[in-house]
Amino acid sequence: MTSKPSTDGLTFTRDCYGKPVRVFMWEGVPWFEAEAFCAAMDLSAAALEAFDRTATDTDIALYSFDDEPVFALSPIGAWKLVEANDPYRSAKFAAWAKREANHLAPDAPPTDPRMFLTLQADGMLPEMPGKYSGRRAEWYALKESPEHLEAKQRARSVLRRMSLQMANPQHNFPAPAAATPSL
């Protein structure tokens, strides 16, 4: 987790199903106060600590707000926290975070990993979102993206080659040609 500088000066409180959640705008992306978001979901501090151990810098950050450190979740971090703890009963909180983010940052680029689902580094899909999380349309769009289809084809050719080698150990199959990076 990265320590972030103070916010852009835009800090406000939004209602999340009857509980107040502070929102910090940083570099045009809304970040939600993690403790308040967890309180709205009835999650313990231990659940947030467990999430923090596996989260990336685009998921959770430590902000200096009024000289006190505050953990904050990006919209994708809020979704990942929900998916890690209770994806079925708490999906409405992930959907709320997405709606708020879209309202507060309507011009965010679709490649911003703090706001939207993105492909993993190897081009493969992230875990499929829960049914009511508000992220399934993004996931299906990624599934049909040329980058994912290319990565999927590469993975298939590696598996095909491995299975041929296992079935025919006496043959020496040439390695597939290296893929040229697309610009």
Residues 180, 117: Cα–Cα separation, whole Å = 25
Check pLDDT > 50 for residue 10.
yes
Closest CA to 97 of 150, 138, 126, 134: 134
Residue 12 pLDDT level (bands cut at 50, 70, 90): confident
How many C-alpha atoms does 75 have within 13 Å on its Cβ side? 29
Q: How far apart are the first and last CA of the chain?
A: 30
Residues 86, 8: Cα–Cα separation, whole Å = 32
- 77-102: pLDDT as tens digits: 999 999 998 888 889 999 999 999 99
The two tokens of residue 74 are 């990006």
pTM of the predicted structure, to 2 decimals: 0.76
- 110-164: pLDDT as tens digits: 889 999 989 888 899 998 888 888 899 999 999 999 999 999 888 888 878 778 7
Name the residue with higher pLDDT: 7 or 131: 131
Residue linked to tokens 């909180």 = 93
Name the residue with higher pLDDT: 175 or 64: 64
